[in-house]
Amino acid sequence: MDVLVIGGNRFVGWLLAFRLLAAGHKVTLFNRGRLPDPFGGRVERITGDRTTADLERKLVGRRFDAVVDLAAFTGDDGRRIAEILRGRVAHHVMVSTGQVYLVREGCPRPAREEDYDGTVIARPADPADVADWEYGVGKRACEDALAQAHAKDGFPTTRVRIPMVNGERDYLRRIEGYLWRLLDGGPLILPDGGTHRVRHVYGAEVGRFLAEILARPATIGRAYNLAQDETPTLAELVGRLRHLVGSRAEIVPVSSEKLRAAGLDPGKVSPFSGRWMSFLDPGRAHRELGFRHEPLEIYLGKIVASFLAHPPSDRPEGYARREVERTVAAARG
C-alpha cells in the first residue's frame, strides 16, 4: 500500500511507520519537520502545517491507498481532510481519544462506542480543566465532521479512540515519573490511595492496530475503542512497577487536599491520578476484528527494561519538588 501518515512524529507515528515499512508498504510522512526521524531514505517526507493551506497545496494530485491521521484535533481538521482527499484515498483512519466520552454528560465507565452520543458538559469553571475539556470537545467535532462526510459522500473513514498511551517513547514521561520515585528510595505518594481503576493502551499496540485495519472495508464508517484488557487499580499498577524494578520503596497514600495544601499538584506527583483519564471498553475491536492487546505484564516489562537500559539524564516534570513530597509522605496521610 501507499500510506500517508499525518503528524505523530514523536511516539505512535514512529511505531506505525516502522511497522508499515517492515511490511513492505510505501510510506509518506506529513508533519512540520521540527523533529528528526530514523527512517532515512526509506520514506518520503512532506513538510507543512496541516492547519494552513500547506495540506491542500502539497497533496494536490496525490492519491493514497490509506491515510492515518494522528494530528486531527478540530472540526475544521476533519472537514478539510475529507474535502482534500475526497475520491483520492481508499481508507482514512483518524486517531481520536477517550476524552470524547469524558466531555459527555453522564459518561459511563467503561465507555463503549455506542455511548458516544449525548450532551456535552458545559465548559469547566476551573481553569485547570479547560484544556482537557477543549481537547475532548475538539476531537468530538473532528469525529462528527468525518462521520458526516462518510454519511453524505461516502468518505471512507474509520475512527480509533485511545486512552492514556504508555510506551518507551512516551514524551510526557508518565510511567517514568513513577519509576524514578521507586528507584530513588521512595517513598512514592499515591493521591487518595490510588484506589481507582485504570485501563491504558500500549503505544506499540496502537501502531499494530492501525497497520492491521488499513484497507479493511468492514471498518469504514465505524469507530473502535482500543485499550488493554486488564483494569488494575493505580495502586496495583504501581505495585507491578515496584516489583519489576526490585524496589522496596514505601507506597504512601496521601489525600489530594493535603498535597494541594503543601503546594503539590497531585497530577504531577502521580501522573495517573488526574480525573481526565478515560476508561474504555475494547469489546468491539475484540468481537469484530479479533484484536487482542498484548498483556499488561509483558508490555510493562518492556517499558521498564528500556528505562533501566537507557535512563534519561534529566527528570520528568514534577520531580523538582521531590523533597516536599518526602516531607508530606512523612506526615502519613
214: domain CATH number? Answer: 3.40.50.720
Domain assignment of residue 73, given as a range: 2-330
Give the number of residues written for the chain. 333
> What global pTM score does this model have?
0.95
Burial class (CB in 10 A: 0-12, 13-18, 19+), 50: buried
C-alpha distance from residue 58 to each of 36, 61, 214, 329 (Å): 20, 9, 23, 55
Residue burial 194-208, b: 16+ Cβ < 10 Å; e: rest: bebebbbbbbbbbbb
Q: What are the beta bridge partners of residue 29?
A: 5, 45
Cβ-contact 120, 135 below 8 angstroms: no
Structural domains of the chain, count: 1
Query: Could you list the pLDDT tens digit for every one of the 333 residues in the chain?
Result: 999 999 988 899 999 999 999 999 999 999 999 999 999 999 999 999 999 999 999 999 999 999 999 999 999 999 999 999 999 999 999 999 999 999 999 999 999 999 999 999 999 999 989 999 999 999 999 999 999 999 999 999 999 999 999 999 999 999 999 999 999 999 999 999 999 999 999 999 999 999 999 989 999 999 999 999 999 999 999 999 999 999 999 999 999 999 999 999 999 999 999 889 999 999 999 999 999 999 999 999 999 999 999 999 999 989 999 999 999 999 874
Identity of the amino acid at 279: F
